[in-house]
Amino acid sequence: MNFLPDPVLDHLRNVIGLPDFSQTRYRLEREIGRGGMGVVFAAHDETLHRRVAIKVVAKGVLQEARIIASLEHPGIVPVHDAGELPGGQFFYAMKLVDGVRLDQHLERESSLANRLRLFQRVCDTVAFAHSRGVVHRDLKPQNIMVGAYGEVLILDWGVARAVSTAGGNEEPDGTVVGTKHYMAPEQASGRTAEIGPASDIYSLGVILRGLLNPPAPRPLLAIAAKASAVDPSQRYQEALALGREIGLFLDREPVSAYRESSFERAQRFAARNPTLLILITAYVVVRFFLFFLRFL
């Protein structure tokens, strides 16, 4: 067998963009994703004999790995390992999830109830991160994965920051990170001192609106509008509260974001109590029939 000299291998890696993993226990298989913060590869762990996902990032950028490692939750992919490569790049290995992005999943999921249940699980995961003082800052369907067995995971914590519940971080004013369509106004204008959990809730409101096919139920539109209000103080103050509102809608209960009419209240009551409504209708019909029998 002929081996290529190290200088030739280094040149080939540079040409095709593959990092040097020769001194690690991982064997790269293929690239599966690329973004502004790094490149993700599918790989094989030669020691534990399992497939993993490996993200390679620029030198000195291990913030994402540290944040993910601090967030142990079913909705967040666990980190298995991290290290530095000979070329000065850093990497971290994590669970390889078999699934599709939320936006792709929605193309084949027509049930509104199922879509909303997925969204509730996203809210639960975001609420957990907020409880640990972490704001994602780039929530969007492309960063949410639905696994083959129904798992819902939030990915790409590359621009996440640890902040206080009152907002604020170490970045200077004017710093803008995230995806334009999903960014809260304070985030899009670079007002970093104002960025906090409410900024993620704004993104959740935009995501919720994208889950709804027209004509969307008015209570859901009202929930999405409240979550994505321009003024952070007018949004839901916790991701759990947003998830609970979705739960109330699914249970055919009134939601705080929408003031329903008497007719809508009656419709909701009928939808929640179909058996009772049938019994009442039957009773009225029988009474009406008996009333007329008296005159025959």
Please provide residue 117's backbone torsions phi and psi, each rounded to the nearest 5 degrees.
-65, -40
Rounded to an integer, what distance in angstroms lies between the CA atom of residue 93 and that of residue 102?
Answer: 22
Rounded to an integer, what distance in angstroms lies between the CA atom of residue 30 and that of residue 51?
Answer: 12
Answer yes or no: is pLDDT of 62 > 90.
no
Rounded to an integer, what distance in angstroms lies between the CA atom of residue 76 and that of residue 66?
Answer: 13
Answer yes or no: is pLDDT of 14 > 90.
no
Q: Active-site residue numbers? A: 138
Angle at 179 (CA atoms; ends 178, 180), nearest 5 degrees: 115
Share of the chain above pLDDT 90, in %: 60
More confident residue, 261 or 184: 184
Q: How far is CA 120 from CA 116, 141, 219, 279, in A?
A: 6, 14, 16, 34
Query: What is the average pLDDT across 19-46?
Result: 90
The answer to whether 224 and 205 have CB atoms below 8 angstroms apart is yes
Q: Which of 81, 38, 77, 41 is nearest to 60 (CA)?
A: 38
The answer to whether 154 and 136 have CB atoms below 8 angstroms apart is yes
pLDDT range class, residue 51, cuts 50, 70, 90: very high
The answer to whether 180 and 188 have CB atoms below 8 angstroms apart is yes
The residue length of the chain stands at 296
pLDDT (0 to 100) of residue 24: 94
| Lookup result for tokens 């780039």 | 138
Rounded to an integer, what distance in angstroms lies between the CA atom of residue 211 and that of residue 121?
Answer: 14
Answer yes or no: is pLDDT of 124 > 50.
yes
Share of the chain above pLDDT 70, in %: 79
Its pTM stands at 0.82
Please provide residue 223's backbone torsions phi and psi, each rounded to the nearest 5 degrees.
-65, -45
Query: What is the average pLDDT across 166-172?
Result: 58
Query: What is the average pLDDT across 85-110?
Result: 92
Which helix H or strand E contains 152, and what residues bound it?
A: strand 152-154
The answer to whether 123 and 28 have CB atoms below 8 angstroms apart is no
- The DSSP secondary-structure symbol of 170 reads S
pLDDT (0 to 100) of residue 102: 96
pLDDT (0 to 100) of residue 206: 98
Q: Which of 130, 132, 247 is nearest to 255 (CA)?
A: 247
Rounded to an integer, what distance in angstroms lies between the CA atom of residue 67 and that of residue 62?
Answer: 9
Tens of pLDDT, residue by residue over 237-254, are 999 999 999 999 999 999
The answer to whether 211 and 152 have CB atoms below 8 angstroms apart is no
Lowest mean pLDDT segment, chosen from 50-64, 188-202, 233-247: 50-64
More confident residue, 211 or 270: 211
pLDDT range class, residue 16, cuts 50, 70, 90: very low
Tell me the pLDDT of the chain averaged across its residues.
Answer: 86
Q: Which of 186, 128, 185, 157 is nearest to 63 (CA)?
A: 157
Rounded to an integer, what distance in angstroms lies between the CA atom of residue 11 and that of residue 261?
Answer: 70
Residue 34: both structure tokens together: 């690329």
